[in-house]
Chains A and B, each alone.
Chain A
Amino acid sequence: MEINIQKRVLEANESMADKNRRLFREKGVFVLNMMSSPGSGKTETLCKTLQRLMPEVATGVIVGDICTRNDADRLEATGAAVVQINTDEFGGDCHLAAHLIEKSALTMDLEALDLLIVENIGNLVCPAEFDIGENAKAVVLSVTEGEDKPLKYPLMFQVADIAILNKIDLLPYLDFNAAEAVDNMKKVHPGLPVFELSAKTQEGMEPWVAWLRDSVAKKG
């Protein structure tokens, strides 16, 4: 006997993500999902970004980390509302799923927030697959990772709405070809906006921060 099913395996996550999306819309908060491989500079970029945005743009951060509180402490120092998710208790997961985001978001005063940033688990594969109800996805690639990363992890660069090429302060010391990296991103995702910056020296930060401000303003 054959039973026809035709059901998406991640349907449970997708409907949870839709529920989150409704909640975020109702509260008028713009939600950005930030993803990258471990150590590309998500936390550092966010810290410097928050210094420029706060307090005009009331920002909250949900940070996923497998077992430490380091990132949450660094982010809290900027004055943002920070909630840490240690995925450890859920089996050391490799991505933040929609139900974890709901659980954290409900502990925050969303009404008071204009912007909610989710720093996902450092991983270029799995987070790309899991919708969390965000308005936009950002991927961070750093110049120490190799120009071919977009071709090796096409889904991540395909689903991203914008990309950041971070640590450009290191370019003089590396063989990394920034133009080739950007070119590879655009091969995988034609038209992808790419912000080249250094979270350390803050060179190139402003266009990215302006994009965020703009996105928040559009959300109204």
Chain B
Amino acid sequence: MHEMGIAQQMISIALEAIPKDLPDPRVEQMNLRVGRLAAVVEDSLRFCFEIISKDTCLEGAKLVIETVPVKARCRRCHHEWEVEDVVFTCPSCERGEIEVLSGRELEVASLELAD
């Protein structure tokens, strides 16, 4: 529901990262990392990105999204595992409180520019 704001941030992060002395840069692809727990809807994000990148050097750029799995660690027995079905109970000791190691990412990884 806040995908428009996220798309906006993505574009300003990209614009900031492109060297100022580059004549007429064109972004062909933006690589994103999105954790499975992140509160973003991919279709909606693509739609917002398309709209908001118009008339910038990101217009028409391909958005490639790498989905990051949810990994957790048990604070009690230190077991680490990939959380498949949102059940965060430690499969090893079934008791400990856990720490989420990954799955909340929402990151611009890189840009690919046309030569």
CB pair B37–A5 under 8 Å, yes or no, is: no
If A2-B112, A5-B17 touch, whether A126 touches B39 (CB-CB below 8 Å) is yes
Cβ-based interface call for A179 (8 A)? no
Contact with A along B93-115 (1 / 0, CB 8 A): 00111101000111111111101
In the assembled complex, which residues on chain B have CB atoms less than 8 Å from the CB atom of A190? 88-90, 95-98
In the assembled complex, which residues on chain B have CB atoms less than 8 Å from the CB atom of A155? 37-39, 104
Residue among A2, A5, A128, A186 with most chain B CB within 10 A: A5
If A5-B17, A8-B107, A158-B88 touch, whether A95 touches B2 (CB-CB below 8 Å) is yes
Cβ-based interface call for A12 (8 A)? yes
CB pair A10–B106 under 8 Å, yes or no, is: yes
The tally of residues in A whose CB lies under 8 Å from a CB in B reads 30
In the assembled complex, which residues on chain B have CB atoms less than 8 Å from the CB atom of A154? 37, 86, 88
CB pair A187–B106 under 8 Å, yes or no, is: no
- What is the interface of chain A, defined by CB distance below 8 A to chain B? 1-10, 12, 91, 93-95, 123, 125-126, 128-129, 151, 154-155, 158, 186-191
9 contacts between A and B (CB under 8 A): A3-B112, A5-B17, A8-B107, A9-B108, A129-B2, A151-B86, A155-B39, A158-B37, A188-B88
